[in-house]
A and B are shown apart, each in its own frame.
Chain A
Amino acid sequence: SSELTQDPAVSVALGQTVRITCQGDSLRSYYASWYQQKPGQAPVLVIYGNNNRPSGIPDRFSGSRSGDTASLTITGAQAEDEADFYCYSRDMSGTHCVFGTGTKVTVL
């Protein structure tokens, strides 16, 4: 089982804000990154180093961390944001990497 826990599914109305969380003790020590995956496609990096956005990623995506929880926020969700989202970091030992359990985001 993953050491990074996410809610299985969330929904958000078009244009509204949604926050996805990732909880794990290792997040107190190691950075989290976030990935968006649409059906049949490879994942895409949307946030790295807890709160940094790669070039080309819309600024409606933002990240933060507090204690053992990392968060990804989509402000003004668009229809094209509907996807699975995964967090990623190291495990508690720091010697292996691990993905979160994943969150399915539905835009209503």
Chain B
Amino acid sequence: QVHLVQSGPEVKKPGASVKVSCKASGYTFRTFGINWVRQAPGQGLEWMGWISAYNGNTNYAQKVQGRVTVTTDTSTSTAYMELRSLTSDDTAVYYCARGDWGTEIDFWGQGTLVTVSS
């Protein structure tokens, strides 16, 4: 059974950084990539980026390029998403989700609420 378990909620001040973790289980971690998707309150889904757990290749959405870094630790089957220079517009639920590059996303984490507030 595939599971993606994310770290807990975060409250950050504007200008700070946040790092969300996503621990995978139930499959061979290196055989699939991990997407990061966010959803602002009352809004739709927004794709942020993707990383290959096999070779570390990444691809980021233009909107967050330069502020986001996605990494993996294959020894612990964990993916990480770090977002810097936070503003109130970054307040959202952040999801990690399994998928090969440019194809369907078949399993999702439970989501992590990141609140940016002064």
Give residues 97-116 of B contacting A (CB, 8 Å). 97, 102-106, 108-111
Which single member of A42, A88, A90 contacts B111 (CB below 8 Å)? A42
Asked if B59 CB lies within 8 Å of chain A CBs, one says yes
**Could you jot down 30 A-B contacts, CB within 8 Å?**
A31-B104, A33-B104, A35-B105, A37-B45, A42-B95, A42-B109, A42-B110, A43-B45, A43-B105, A43-B108, A44-B108, A45-B104, A45-B106, A48-B103, A48-B106, A86-B45, A88-B45, A88-B104, A88-B105, A95-B59, A96-B59, A96-B61, A97-B59, A97-B102, A98-B47, A99-B37, A99-B45, A100-B44, A102-B44, A102-B45
Residue from A37, A42, A48 with most neighbouring chain B CB atoms (10 Å)? A42
- Enumerate chain B interface residues (CB-CB to A < 8 A): 35, 37, 44-47, 50, 59, 61-62, 95, 97, 102-106, 108-111
Pair A30/B45 contact, Cβ less than 8 Å? no
Chain A interface, number of residues (Cβ within 8 angstroms): 26
A83 to B86 alpha-carbon distance, docked (Å): 30
Instruction: Indicate if the CB atoms of B108 and A54 lie closer than 8 Å.
Output: no
Which residues of chain A from 75 to 108 have any CB-CB distance to chain B below 8 Å in the complex? Answer: 84, 86, 88, 90, 94-102
Number of A-B pairs, beta carbon distance below 8 Å: 59
Q: Which A residues have a C-beta under 8 Å from some C-beta of B?
A: 2, 30-31, 33, 35, 37, 42-45, 48-49, 54, 84, 86, 88, 90, 94-102
Q: Which residue of B lies closest to A30 (CB)?
A: B102
A41 to chain B, nearest CB (A): 9
Q: Which chain B residue has the least Cβ–Cβ distance from A6?
A: B44
